[in-house]
Structure 1
Amino acid sequence: MLRERIRGFADTLDKQRPLSKDEMEVLARGILSELNLPEGFLGWTMVELASAFWHDQVAAVPPERRLFLLPHCLKHAEGCPADYDDYGLDCRRCGACSIADFRTEAEDLGYKVLVAEGSPIVLKIIVGGYVDAVVGVACLNVLEKAIDKILMAGIPCAAVPLLSSDCRNTSVDEDWVAEMIRIPHKKPQVQTRSYIHLMRAAEKLFEPSELDRLAPRLRSKPAESETKAPATLDPIASTEAIAYDFLAKGGKHSRPFIVLAVHDALTGGNATLAGGAEHLSELPDAARRVALSIETFHKASLVHDDIEDDDDYRYGDETVHRRYGMSTAINVGDYLIGLGYRAVSREAGSLGPEVATDIVDRLADAHMKLCEGQGAELTWRDGRDKRLKPLDALKIYAMKTAPAFEAALYAGARLAGPVDELREPIARFARDLGVAFQILNDLKDWDESDQNKLSHGADVLGGRPTVLWALALASLHEEDSARLFSLVEGTMTENGQIELSDESRVRRIRALYDRAGVFDKAEQLVEKYRARAEAVADELEVDELRRLFYYLVDTVLERPTIEAPAVVVPSLDIVTLEPLVRLFYDDDAGLGSFTEVSPEEMPEGYRHLLAHEHHMTVTVEKFHGGPVDVRVLDKVVTEEHYARKILLVNQSDGFVVQYGIMRVHLADLPPQAREEIVGEGTPLGRILINHDVLRKIHLHRLWRVEIGKELKDFFGDSSPTTYGRTATIECNGEPAIELLEIVAPLPVT
């Protein structure tokens, strides 16, 4: 019933323009409300709505231009003979799972088939021009995350969710998949606008042959091996060679895209139509060179920023100053700036002197503002006074980030004609977009779900003046502010003996940031500036430009993906629960699924056991009428942490009364307490009490737990459900212990 309703509803929608994720969420909620279905179906409904919306557009793409994406978790994990290559699972077609069957049929129809997960490789294939539509199978949470990326590209898509999210030996509705890949090729009644052709045009600017055509080298081009071996470079040609190599390497090319997209929006928007590729093939080289110039300025700023921030890697390779030396890198950055100005100034004949002068003047203005913003950051970073007001941090952001957006927007508009009426809206939009973008970058530095980051908190340890730092100082009491200063300066030690590692410093800074509520406040600032940018877009008279501005808000200020409610895809508390579980489990099957609950939603016995800020050891012993022993099941030990999963068992009868995972930051505890914890003979709460450790327990979340296989082995099968909690313990004023505590099911009374 739900699928039929979604498909019928999709037929009524205006398909001339793509839906944003926010619009899709509103529509999906409306469908669920109409059918009186729970919130738990939201993610599934959004995926199916996207598929139904794009169905005709997928059909318009011949199968040989479609990509069929399959997840590797459909394979039979035990005994699968396939290996992985750069593009995913290299299926051997052994017939042991459905992957081979799906793949064979799709390839017979002409599809390109990829057995892999994740949107980055898919977007690379899309923007690279290899395919024009994507159909796929994945678990629901992966599809939800991919929706943003696919919608941003505006490429036709369809998907079928897996029947489970176990990431191992999964299954899928095979008839539904067959229906999807057999979508016949036919001409659509309505063509949906898309920015994909403009994305591809921006990407193509930096292909080696096109780059050399648009910006011919003055020196001979060296062999690729020479740029990788600095000693072999010709000294005269070296600066140009290094600069061109870096210019062609990596990046999203969002700024050149903005130039081309604004120009297109103000000249009819033809590049977003079905014939967009043909239309862009007639784009004057002068416009291409202006777009290219914006990227050269951006790449120059990256070379210099990497020096100032002492970064080691960029785009997966050594930074320019690490590979070639600091002096050479500074010079290469300067060369790129000159290359950018030359790309525009030499088009005065084709653009007209006035247009070329206006664009160069705006580029110079942006260059100066960016240098002022970077200079303000460096002066603050090198100064002794580390106090910072939130307003001052935002002013730095406005100078550092907004000018690049403004230059790209202005250049695209000026290529299209006079900009007198757009000058002021462009400046306001760029400022609001740039500030919000920089705040999001600050937040991403602390995003523990970002698996691509090797470390977190680099900004604060690097001494950068972020708005998070300013918000913390504005919110913390004097004593906590002093502790924050000492952590950043590296002067805090434990008991005067143990010097804190960077990991420990970051963890403690994170705790102070949490206490000050800076992450929520920063999110509120992002939404404030997002709303301002959207208000500017609403003022615009040109429909295509207004749509582009909204698109830029959605893409540049990409929001966190919707977490599916636990009734469909159980999700773990990423702050405390998931890191603990992942110490011992690759997925959630062993423990089960978790649903956050309030104390009022818990049966009285469980509420008494868990809804408090006291030691569980003491509480469990009182509840069950006797002392308990600890039984260590497994442990993980690092230089910083001691983690273990345990059972608490009654001394009297040996019954299991509690399961738990804990992670202890050993430097925060007295030596005797550390030794006794590592000795594994006494429950944690009893150790802290016996050694009179100054402690404070913080309850974070309460959970209803649908019992998984391993918990069932411990607790028995008297009940499919129990309850638990996540908590932390402060020791001597510092967050020291993270806890997951799940009690055994209680008898039904």
Structure 2
Amino acid sequence: METATPTAPLPLVSLPRAVPEMPTRPPQENIPQTRGERELILRQVKDYVAESENDLTPPLVLDELRQRAEALIARHGIDPKYVDYVGIVLSNEVWREQLSTVPYDRRLLLLPKCLRVEDRCPAPFDEFGLLCKQCGLCSIQDLQEEAERLGYAVLVAEGSALVMALIQTGKIEAIVGVSCISVLERAFPYMESAAIPGVAIPLLQDDCKDTAVDVEWVWDFIHTTSDDRTRRLDLDALRKDVESWFEPSTLDALFGGPAASETETLARAELTRAGKRWRPFLSVCVHQALQDDPHAPVPDALRQVAVAVECFHKASLIHDDIEDGDTLRYGEPTLHATHGVPAAINVGDLLIGEGYRLLAESGFPPDVRAAMTAIAARGHRTLCLGQGEELLWARSPKPLGSRKVLEIFRQKTAPAFGVALELGAAAARAEPEVFETLRKYSDALGIAYQIRDDLDDFAPSADAPDDIAALRPSLPLAVGYEQAKTEPELRPILARAWRRERVNGSASPERLRALLDQFDSVERSRRMMEGYKEEAIRSLPGLTNPSLKGLLRRVIGKIFSVEIQGWCSEFEARNAAGGQSVAEASR
């Protein structure tokens, strides 16, 4: 069991590797317009495939695929113009199980060259397609690197003849592809006749200009393997299950009865308040992934651990609101705003005590409970050190660089994710190397999550604090100050904001936002967020458990919505041909 010393110093925070950044634009008309809509259709298709499992044998002929897609559209009230999209998603899910049984080194990843940044792409072409130069300008590099690391053959090219030639060699037994709907429609007969597992993630546009794809779907299919026993685990259903544990009646049962005092009533009310429940969800995910049967019911002891994680989290929010002077949380008055600071501090302390009590009284063996207590204590200590850094800064405020702000994030936010992940691993008696990977993963995930909060707070709303108006340390403010080093007239304005000088005019919140926009601070911060998300993904290859590795990758997709984009100039030829493909236009 993991027993690392609680006083081990944290390594210095490092900036993530830059990720490609491309502009976004709406999907074409026959593709659902938002990621949420597409995810909903995916869930509906998965449910349909699960209930029709004995009646679906791939490959489905085109007529049957369309009939089933139309039936799905009628059942769920989906816009009929999405029938081709639904059919592609359905075909993918029908093939998923067979794809998972094909070894990685017998698969082909086929990417379109329109994902490259054509104006700046240094890659040459040969008869097989684009030869990526690993310049990092587009997402082809990351997808190709990961697929080749797993053992895939990778082509960045279009053309069914080339694919069929590879299939006929007998070395390729499955294909994962990315393409536009129009190309997929023409390629379907070839895939059907080859009768090998083939999935295709559709591009969101088919004009080869600023094309985008739901990248998490690409990663999902690339890593699909029968060794991952969690691949059928419904994360949305599991999360709803976790959320149900925080209903008042469920909490009363867990704590042994109704609250016996006003302090207990306030504490339980905090647990039932709005929140995303990501942290208890992560504990459950890790534990289930490490079981022989990830679909087995969640044990009662683990429920106690999950509620303990939320106790720690809500306690930290109560104390954080007091220390930051925030009077709103989730769009409602904070506890100290309604009941006073002393009572709020006491409720936060009670929740911390309840968290440790739940760990100590859970049904796990004594050595597991001891390990979980140590994990929680280490995380608690690190979080307090991070909050202390911010509080000390507030006593004598001065400009902070982005690295220092990120270090505060790593100490304030990452520990909560780390504790959640490690408690699930400890409950499952994971090997020591799992804990090391989880720490790297949680560091990157926590920083990315806090950056997203900063970006959300940059645009004030009724239910979110305004870091700019409150003059709190934030990454956009740090980035803006760094970018203003060549602007001697403007940098002092940002310095005054860092010193928390509340004045109108030059350092008003509106003026500060305008300056940060001028220095592209929000976009630069967003790129850092993307970089840390990639860092979290890159920490996973060290895991030898495919179920845990696959699940942690999917969790990132649940917490963050990601799309990748790219460019190519084929749209010019296609538009000149009246909307036809380049191949058709050249005939």
User: Shorter-chain TM-score: which interval?
Assistant: 0.5 to 0.7
Counterpart of 1:513 in structure 2 is 516
Offset of 1:434 from its aligned partner?
A: 0.6
**2:290–2:430 Cα contact (<8 Å) kept:** no
Task: Tell me if 1:379 matches 2:392.
Answer: yes
Counterpart of 2:488 in structure 1 is 478
**1:214–1:285 Cα contact (<8 Å) kept:** no
Q: What is the letter of the counterpart of residue 443 of structure 2?
A: R
Superposed, 1:101-250 pairs within 5 Å as: 136=78, 192-217=232-257, 221=259, 237-250=261-274
**2:267–2:347 Cα contact (<8 Å) kept:** yes
Determine the C-alpha separation between the residues in 2 that align with 1:308 and 1:517: 30
Query: 2:380 pairs with 344, 357, 367, which one?
Result: 367
Determine the C-alpha separation between the residues in 2 that align with 1:321 and 1:369: 24
**2:383–2:412 Cα contact (<8 Å) kept:** yes
Q: What is the letter of the counterpart of residue 301 of structure 2?
A: A
**1:440–1:557 Cα contact (<8 Å) kept:** no
Change (3 A) 1:242 1:41: same
Q: What is the letter of the counterpart of residue 363 of structure 1?
A: A
Superposed, 1:538-549 pairs within 5 Å as: 538-549=541-552
Change (3 A) 1:139 1:468: farther
TM-score by length of 2: 0.57
**2:537–2:553 Cα contact (<8 Å) kept:** yes
Counterpart of 2:316 in structure 1 is 301
Task: Tell me if 1:263 matches 2:263.
Answer: no
Determine the C-alpha separation between the residues in 2 that align with 1:532 and 1:490: 33
**1:258–1:412 Cα contact (<8 Å) kept:** yes
Task: Tell me if 1:343 matches 2:358.
Answer: yes
Change (3 A) 1:134 1:302: farther
Q: What is the letter of the counterpart of residue 556 of structure 2?
A: V
TM-score by length of 1: 0.46
Offset of 1:209 from its aligned partner?
A: 2.0
Offset of 1:559 from its aligned partner?
A: 4.3
Q: What is the letter of the counterpart of residue 559 of structure 2?
A: V
Counterpart of 1:413 in structure 2 is 425
**1:492–1:500 Cα contact (<8 Å) kept:** no
Higher relative contact order (CA 8 A, sep 6+): 2
- Partner-residue secondary structure (3-state), 2:539: helix
Offset of 1:135 from its aligned partner?
A: 5.0
Offset of 1:320 from its aligned partner?
A: 0.8
Q: What is the letter of the counterpart of residue 474 of structure 1?
A: E
Task: Tell me if 1:423 matches 2:435.
Answer: yes
Offset of 1:470 from its aligned partner?
A: 1.5
Counterpart of 1:552 in structure 2 is 555
Determine the C-alpha separation between the residues in 1 that align with 2:43 and 2:451: 33
Change (3 A) 1:315 1:61: farther
Determine the C-alpha separation between the residues in 2 that align with 1:543 and 1:245: 39
- Partner-residue secondary structure (3-state), 1:479: coil
Offset of 1:39 from its aligned partner?
A: 6.8
Counterpart of 2:573 in structure 1 is none
Change (3 A) 1:443 1:259: same
Change (3 A) 1:139 1:306: farther
Offset of 1:60 from its aligned partner?
A: 5.8
Deviations 1:343-364 (A, max 9, x none): 01123xx311110000010101
Deviations 1:478-515 (A, max 9, x none): 3211122345667687xxxxx449xx822211121122
Counterpart of 1:291 in structure 2 is 306
Deviations 1:317-376 (A, max 9, x none): 3211111111000000000000000001123xx311110000010101100111111111
RMSD: 3.8
Determine the C-alpha separation between the residues in 2 that align with 1:203 and 1:414: 22
Counterpart of 1:357 in structure 2 is 370
- Partner-residue secondary structure (3-state), 1:550: helix
Q: What is the letter of the counterpart of residue 403 of structure 2?
A: L
Superposed, 1:422-571 pairs within 5 Å as: 422-447=434-459, 453-454=461-462, 458-476=466-484, 477-486=487-496, 499-500=504-505, 505-559=508-562
Higher strand share: 1
**2:330–2:464 Cα contact (<8 Å) kept:** no
The gaps in structure 2 that reach 5 residues or longer are 1-23, 53-74, 94-230, 566-587
Determine the C-alpha separation between the residues in 2 that align with 1:367 and 1:294: 11
Offset of 1:531 from its aligned partner?
A: 1.4
Q: What is the letter of the counterpart of residue 253 of structure 1?
A: R
Determine the C-alpha separation between the residues in 2 that align with 1:251 and 1:456: 13
Q: What is the letter of the counterpart of residue 289 of structure 1?
A: Q
Counterpart of 1:329 in structure 2 is 344
Deviations 1:220-242 (A, max 9, x none): 637xxxxxxxxxxxxxx121111
Q: What is the letter of the counterpart of residue 261 of structure 1?
A: C
Change (3 A) 1:284 1:387: same
The gaps in structure 1 that reach 5 residues or longer are 1-28, 30-37, 63-132, 152-190, 223-236, 272-278, 494-498, 563-749
**1:446–1:456 Cα contact (<8 Å) kept:** no
Determine the C-alpha separation between the residues in 1 that align with 2:425 and 2:406: 27
Q: What is the letter of the counterpart of residue 294 of structure 1?
A: V
Q: What is the letter of the counterpart of residue 431 of structure 1?
A: D
Offset of 1:547 from its aligned partner?
A: 1.7
Deviations 1:215-274 (A, max 9, x none): 225xx637xxxxxxxxxxxxxx12111111211222121111111111111103533xxx
Change (3 A) 1:43 1:505: farther
Deviations 1:388-420 (A, max 9, x none): 111111111110011011111111111111331
Determine the C-alpha separation between the residues in 2 that align with 1:49 and 1:555: 10
Counterpart of 1:394 in structure 2 is 406
Higher helix share: 2
Determine the C-alpha separation between the residues in 1 that align with 2:468 and 2:324: 12
Q: What is the letter of the counterpart of residue 57 of structure 1?
A: D
Q: What is the letter of the counterpart of residue 283 of structure 2?
A: V
Report how many aligned residue pairs link the two structures: 375
The structure with more radius of gyration: 1
- Partner-residue secondary structure (3-state), 1:464: coil
Determine the C-alpha separation between the residues in 2 that align with 1:269 and 1:444: 38
**2:305–2:358 Cα contact (<8 Å) kept:** yes
Offset of 1:446 from its aligned partner?
A: 2.4
Q: What is the letter of the counterpart of residue 369 of structure 1?
A: T
Counterpart of 2:329 in structure 1 is 314
**2:372–2:423 Cα contact (<8 Å) kept:** yes
**1:457–1:506 Cα contact (<8 Å) kept:** no
**2:328–2:464 Cα contact (<8 Å) kept:** no
Determine the C-alpha separation between the residues in 2 that align with 1:508 and 1:139: 45
Q: What is the letter of the counterpart of residue 471 of structure 2?
A: G
- Partner-residue secondary structure (3-state), 1:58: helix
**1:460–1:488 Cα contact (<8 Å) kept:** no
Offset of 1:543 from its aligned partner?
A: 1.9
Deviations 1:44-71 (A, max 9, x none): 4986897488446237669xxxxxxxxx
Determine the C-alpha separation between the residues in 1 that align with 2:330 and 2:532: 29
- Partner-residue secondary structure (3-state), 2:489: helix
